[in-house]
Structure 1
Amino acid sequence: MPGTTPNLPPRHDSWLDRPSHHHWLESEGQRLLAFYRASRHATCGFAALDEDGRLPADAVPDTMITARMTHCFALAAMRGEPGAAPLVAHGIAALNGELRDAEHGGWYGALPQPGETQTKQAYIHAFVALAAASAWQAGDETAKPLLDDIIEVIETHFWAEDEGRMREGFSRDWREDEAYRGGNSNMHATEAFLQLADVLDEPKWRKRALSIVEKIIHAHARLNDYRVVEHFDAEWNEWRDYNEDTPKDPFRPYGATPGHAFEWSRLLLHLEGGLLRHGETAPGWLIEDARGLFHSACELGWHVDGEPGLVYTHDWENQPVVHERMHWTLAEAAATAAMLLKRTGDTAYETWYRTFWDYIDRFLIDRERGSWWQELDRHNHPSSEVWSGKADLYHAYQSTLLPRLPLSPTMAKAIADGAL
């Protein structure tokens, strides 16, 4: 039945407590890391791989991919992965170099090509901050200037104190402010801010993360039955029909995205854990909203079109719009189920955790070519309607780490402290 907890026999133990399950997660993480070493671009940074794990001849270094790879390899380097530190250095060199706008400041979306018009996007800058913090935590000294620069750019251009959230985008020279505000970019800013708070030991970043969460989740998603509102105008009015004509946009799809509800839920748990760990006030609604987001995503996204899996989006009448299944949504669902199980002890999350990993194992893991299929159609066959190739390590790799880590501190600090 759509959205209901899968009917499995009751369990008196948890996969999270089993060394054999930890071994499985470790092995899968190692397999993913090995696959994505090939994304190192000879020019600079990292670029998207094809389905066979090859770098196409026309591949262009991409800032989001470079930042995500740098972050992941920094985590791996701290865990003793041979060869990971040079990949971190390669990523940081690109983010300090060709991918940075030396004239106007900030970061391009990709290595500039002749005739292209470049803009500055909050989504990209959130990942640059995440990569810089992870690399510096991993001991890469060249990451410190990058960390200082990205913080300055965020505080000068993107963070709006009067709005309590991130602005979305600007022209290359910062003169034009995009008349749009986005939930997705603010979600990843929340992730980056929580890590900055831990790595730099600066509570103001947790305060900013709480401001974002309170305004986007507690003030909007909660009142929409925990359906995450993705799009807003420049005054933060809900923009429900945004991209209605292009529902398969990979970053700003029309409607609600269950995968983001899972991701937000996990971030609320990390935020609550961080606040409590540092003796700061944690609102009681953080856990309430985290649970509400998770259950809404299950109800409205899981098995709602007669096939296993999570639909990419649904409309405001709760009907599926884009039926394709994205690998990242399952990675986030599994990680969030683990975090909720740790936080609450509710065995329903154990059942969901196993269900999501069983789906990943059956449909997403590509044991012939490597990595995971990035996208499946509504019948769970490989698809490329929204994404093509196998560009992304970030979500899948993190899903092999998070179930073995505490709610707080965030991943880079927790690993540096010996949690894993």
Structure 2
Amino acid sequence: MSVWPTSPAHHRWLDQHSRDLLAFGRRTADPGGGARWLGDDGAPEPERPVSALISSRMTHVYGIGALLGVPGAGRIAAQAMAGLTGRLRDPRHGGWFSAVAADGTPEPGKSCYDHAFVLLAASTGVQAGLPGAADLLTAAQEVFLDRFWDESAGLCADTWDTAFTTLDDYRGINANMHTVEAMLSVASVTGDHAWIARAVRICRFVVSAAEAHQWRIPEHYDAAWQPLPDYHRERPDDPFKPYGATIGHGLEWSRLLLHAASAPRVGESSWLTTAARELFARAVADGWDVDGQPGFVYTTDWTGRPVVRDRMHWVAAEGINAAAALYAYTREPSYAQWYRTWWDYADAYLIDHDRGSWFHQLDASNTPAATVWPGKADLYHAFQATLGARVPLWPMLATAVDEHLA
């Protein structure tokens, strides 16, 4: 029986699914620059502002689409990136607004989460040869190092006010997680290994924190990086800062640690690969098929008891890629079996075979829901799930696609 993560036949299916997703999202590009949030049928939702997050993610996705040779993908990537070089960029104070309304009013504040995705988008744009991407990457690196990277802590601050004058006391792991992806991606594109060293420092903190909590990752901290275990207990289903342990982040970190371990000049890396295994095992034990229905619950408390039982599409996508990464690293059959199990789950419940893309949220009975993630905002997680098994752990995705699949 073929092993799915390495099966040529399965890879052909993955390639087709990549292209189906790109076809679904083609209407995301906004004429004024940027990418729009997509509804259930792939149509942009005009009442939503243009956001740096969606624009960055779609620049990244369609930039990779261009590297895959998909006609029109480069044009969509360039139009999405035009939001980052245009109306989403703050000409007065620097950096990027989280979102800009139709009347040009920006959302207040500047977040590390958004700026990490701008870094990712710019690096992919450079790899894909998008005009203006090199200048965007230079600017994004400068802003990120100046405003968000804390050299003394080896971690990133989270949120500033719009003018970069007041830094919020909150510190978060979610933004740092996507920062690791962005830093490793910048290093892959530019060859600047300083970004790898920064990423590894973040990984070391997270591994230490997770190990101290039975491999459940504390997500929320104060300004001194002391954990806040009860943060958002009253808002447990927050889309970016939920209470408790987030199952999908255990899976996502598992994969990112393996990318970091595979990067050049990292040195002794057994602590990274051991932690990748442990985080994966904890996420599966706490999150998968634990309440009588297939699927991953969204969050648990600190004993592993489910808190939010809804199934988010991105968690399954990260599970698929974590299993692919662990199989690539270990060649242990159990990881290949999990990979196959979660693709079967995605096919049965998450992939919308009628209208395209993936349902972004299901309730505890695996019925589509829209309380946290209405519509089908973007392609980032689902699209990356179609690529993880087809490229090596290093370099990072855009560069790996260019070198191995283009």
Match of 2:118 among 115, 125, 128: 128
Counterpart in 2 of 1:403? 389
Structure 1: tracts of 5 or more residues without a match: 1-10
Q: How does 1:316-335 map to 2 (within 5 A)?
A: 316-335=302-321
Match of 1:207 among 192, 197, 202: 197
Shift in Å at residue 59 of structure 1? Answer: 3.4
- Partners in 1 of 2:3 and 2:57 — Cα distance? 30
Amino acid of the residue matched to residue 260 of structure 1? H
Amino acid of the residue matched to residue 364 of structure 2? R
1:46 partnered with 2:44:
no
Match of 1:222 among 211, 220, 228: 211
- Partners in 1 of 2:105 and 2:398 — Cα distance? 38
- Aligned to 1:378, the other structure's residue is in SS state coil
1:63 partnered with 2:52:
yes
Structure 2: tracts of 5 or more residues without a match: none
Q: How does 1:2-401 map to 2 (within 5 A)?
A: 13-112=2-101, 117-216=107-206, 218-274=207-263, 278-401=264-387
Shift in Å at residue 58 of structure 1? Answer: 2.1
- Partners in 1 of 2:293 and 2:381 — Cα distance? 23
Question: 1:43–1:61: 8 Å Cα contact kept in structure 2?
Answer: no
Amino acid of the residue matched to residue 183 of structure 2? F
TM-score relative to the length of structure 2? 0.97
- Aligned to 2:50, the other structure's residue is in SS state coil
Question: 2:98–2:106: 8 Å Cα contact kept in structure 1?
Answer: no
Percent pairwise identity: 43
- Partners in 2 of 1:257 and 1:155 — Cα distance? 27
Amino acid of the residue matched to residue 361 of structure 2? E
1:157-202 residue CA offsets vs partner (Å, 9 max, x unmatched) = 1000011000000000111101111000000000000011111101
Shift in Å at residue 280 of structure 1? Answer: 3.8
Question: 2:78–2:131: 8 Å Cα contact kept in structure 1?
Answer: no
Question: 1:220–1:228: 8 Å Cα contact kept in structure 2?
Answer: yes
Shift in Å at residue 283 of structure 1? Answer: 2.4
Amino acid of the residue matched to residue 45 of structure 1? G
- Partners in 1 of 2:4 and 2:231 — Cα distance? 41
Amino acid of the residue matched to residue 376 of structure 2? K
Question: 1:52–1:370: 8 Å Cα contact kept in structure 2?
Answer: yes
- Aligned to 1:417, the other structure's residue is in SS state helix
Which region of structure 1 is more displaced relative to structure 2, 359-368 or 41-50? 41-50
Shift in Å at residue 317 of structure 1? Answer: 2.2
Large movers: runs of 4+ above 3 Å: 112-117
Shift in Å at residue 62 of structure 1? Answer: 1.4
Amino acid of the residue matched to residue 398 of structure 1? Q
- Partners in 2 of 1:114 and 1:106 — Cα distance? 16
Question: 2:51–2:100: 8 Å Cα contact kept in structure 1?
Answer: yes
